[in-house]
Amino acid sequence: MGRLEHPQPDAKTRILDAAERLFMERGFAATSVRMITGAAGVPVALVNYHFGSKQGLMEAVYARALGNRGSRVSYLDRLEAEADGRPIAVNVLVDAFLSSALRLTRKDSIPGEVFKQLIGRAFYEPGPGTEAFFPDEYREAVDRYRQAFMRALPQLSQEDVVWRMYFLVGIVAYAMAGKDVMRMTETYALADQGQPEAILARLRPFVVAGFLAPPGALPSIAEIP
């Protein structure tokens, strides 16, 4: 019997695979469409045909990495169904958000290490076009958490809740990307460096305490020592 041939991925998938690898290695700004199509073995015109533009291709790469809507809010859906209209405790919401972030590093469709490097490129090596790489579905998921946190923290204004979520998303992205720009994990030889599950477990009480902190008036510049 002859050897079985594995089918070649279609052109769109080859473009996504090549773009994912090059964006991870070089960043968005330093990767040209011609580099991507050369690596994928397809004509340049196919990028516009399938994705509309290089920006559209980048958004498709990140959308694939982030997964579908269900994978981001299925746990939250279940929690809200069990709560039956009652607010969900802050620590439970934080656990749900962190668990969702951890699952992204374990996705079967994209290696966790690749995902972390893509996030690191987007957050810490910004360039033209990278400012709005998250797809609308991800924004919807973040807004669902905003609503849940506001129900759990009625003493806070929407502005306070959104700022605390902003800090949460930023610190989770920093931790997941593994971009220790201050080299603190190396300087102090921290045991859990590079271990997403252990890092998020350490992050949890810090984040919960931040959400539960009372609102405070911002000092003026003159009052800051």
3-state SS string for 86-132: CCCCHHHHHHHHHHHHHHHCCCCCCCHHHHHHHHHHHHHCCCCCCCC
The alpha carbon of residue 110 and the mean position of all alpha carbons in its chain are separated, in whole angstroms, by 13
Which pLDDT value is given to residue 162? 96
pLDDT tens digits along 210-225? 999 998 766 655 655 6
More confident residue, 91 or 183: 91
Verdict on whether the full-model pTM lies above 0.85: no
